[in-house]
């Protein structure tokens, strides 16, 4: 009977050990348990910040200026030194004739403005409109005459082989077909300006700054003889119009 009591006590002891062990929570995989609000070293953290990696550096943020909600531009007032006065003007009908003037330019730039009236040719051509079922149709075409051209040459008066500028109007000379242009000369010295053309009427004028080009600037009427020029004047694109009396030029009709 004594042995039975001992066995009973052993069984009870085992049961108690199992019950007690079941109330203990097994450890988590992470061996380090962090208390909320502490770092790995156990020091308290600021609740508004986090740990910063060591490969970056905290700096003060760049502050941009607040953009203006609205703005306006003001056109600059022309400076007195930007005014140019006309020293020469001419209107001529050219037929392989040339005119020239000379001027000692000491305060460039110099502007040469010209307006041309080229001759235009009118010819008839036949257009085949069989695709639209209208057959052949005779049309009239207006074009600038290939014989109309105007040329401006600026060269050194003392050394005529030194040419500063050659430009003008007319495809026959390899120029564009702007009816109104302003040419700009930036060289300094005694200039010879030549106007040359054929089958065309041209009006040309030369403009320079009065300051340092003339000893007496009172000779100019600033209201009628002078004007302001843009630093890079725009050309006026041409359009084929009946600028002068048209010259008929009929093409042979197809047989």
- Reported as a single tens digit per residue, the pLDDT across 103-162 is 999 999 999 999 999 998 887 777 776 666 666 777 777 889 999 999 999 999 999 999
pTM for the whole structure = 0.59
Question: How do residues 42-71 score in pLDDT, each as one tens digit?
Answer: 555 554 444 434 434 343 443 445 444 444
Which residue range is the domain that position 155 belongs to?
86-117+145-237
Helix, strand, or coil (residue 21): helix
Burial 213-244 (b: 16+ CB within 10 A, else e): bbeeeeebeeeeebeebeeeeeeeebeeeebb
Q: How confident is the model at residue 32 (pLDDT cuts 50, 70, 90)?
A: very low
Contacts of 138 (CB under 8 A, 6+ apart): 124, 125, 126, 127
| Best CA proximity match to 239, nearest among 154, 177, 146, 171 | 177
| Best CA proximity match to 91, nearest among 12, 2, 173, 197 | 197
Cα torsion through 164, 154, 177, 247, rounded to 10: -150
Give the burial class of 31: count Cβ atoms within 10 A of its Cβ; 0-12 exposed, 13-18 middle, 19 or more buried.
exposed
Alpha carbon distance 179, 103 (integer Å): 25
CATH number of the domain within which 220 lies: 2.60.120.380
Contacts of 199 (CB under 8 A, 6+ apart): 94, 95, 118, 119, 145, 147, 148, 149
216 belongs to a structural domain: yes
133 belongs to a structural domain: no
Question: How do residues 198-220 score in pLDDT, each as one tens digit?
Answer: 999 999 999 999 999 999 888 88
Mean pLDDT of the chain: 74
62 belongs to a structural domain: no
The confidence score (pLDDT) of residue 218 equals 86
Query: Which range is least confidently modeled, 29-33, 100-104, 119-123, 188-192?
Result: 29-33
164 belongs to a structural domain: yes
In Å, how far from its chain's centre is CA 78? 23
Helix, strand, or coil (residue 9): helix
The confidence score (pLDDT) of residue 23 equals 53
107 belongs to a structural domain: yes
Split into its structural domains, the chain has a count of 1
242 belongs to a structural domain: no
Alpha carbon distance 94, 35 (integer Å): 102
| Best CA proximity match to 114, nearest among 96, 99, 103 | 99
H or E stretch at 11: helix 2-22
């Amino acid at each position: 009977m004594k042995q039975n009591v001992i066995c009973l006590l052993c069984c009870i002891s085992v049961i108690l050990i199992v019950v007690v062990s079941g109330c203990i929570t097994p450890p988590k995989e992470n061996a380090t348990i962090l208390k909320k609000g502490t770092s790995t070293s156990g020091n308290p953290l600021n609740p508004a910040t986090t740990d910063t990696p060591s490969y970056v550096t905290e700096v003060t943020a760049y502050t941009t200026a607040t953009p203006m909600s609205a703005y306006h531009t003001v056109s600059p007032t022309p400076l007195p030194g930007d005014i140019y006065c006309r020293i020469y003007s001419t209107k001529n009908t050219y037929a392989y004739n040339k005119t020239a003037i000379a001027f000692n330019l000491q305060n460039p730039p110099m502007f040469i403005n010209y307006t041309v009236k080229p001759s235009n040719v009118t010819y008839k051509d036949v257009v085949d409109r069989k695709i639209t079922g209208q057959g052949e149709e005779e049309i009239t075409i207006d074009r600038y005459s290939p014989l109309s051209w105007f040329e401006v040459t600026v060269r050194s008066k003392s050394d005529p082989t030194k040419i500063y500028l050659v430009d003008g109007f007319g495809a026959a000379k390899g120029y564009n077909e702007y009816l109104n242009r302003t040419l700009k000369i930036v060289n300094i010295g005694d200039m010879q300006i030549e106007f040359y053309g054929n089958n065309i009427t041209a009006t040309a004028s030369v403009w320079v700054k009065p300051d340092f080009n003339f000893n007496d600037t009172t000779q100019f009427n600033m209201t009628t003889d002078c004007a302001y020029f843009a630093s890079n004047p725009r050309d006026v694109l041409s359009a084929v119009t009946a600028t002068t009396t048209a010259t008929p030029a009929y093409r042979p009709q197809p047989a």
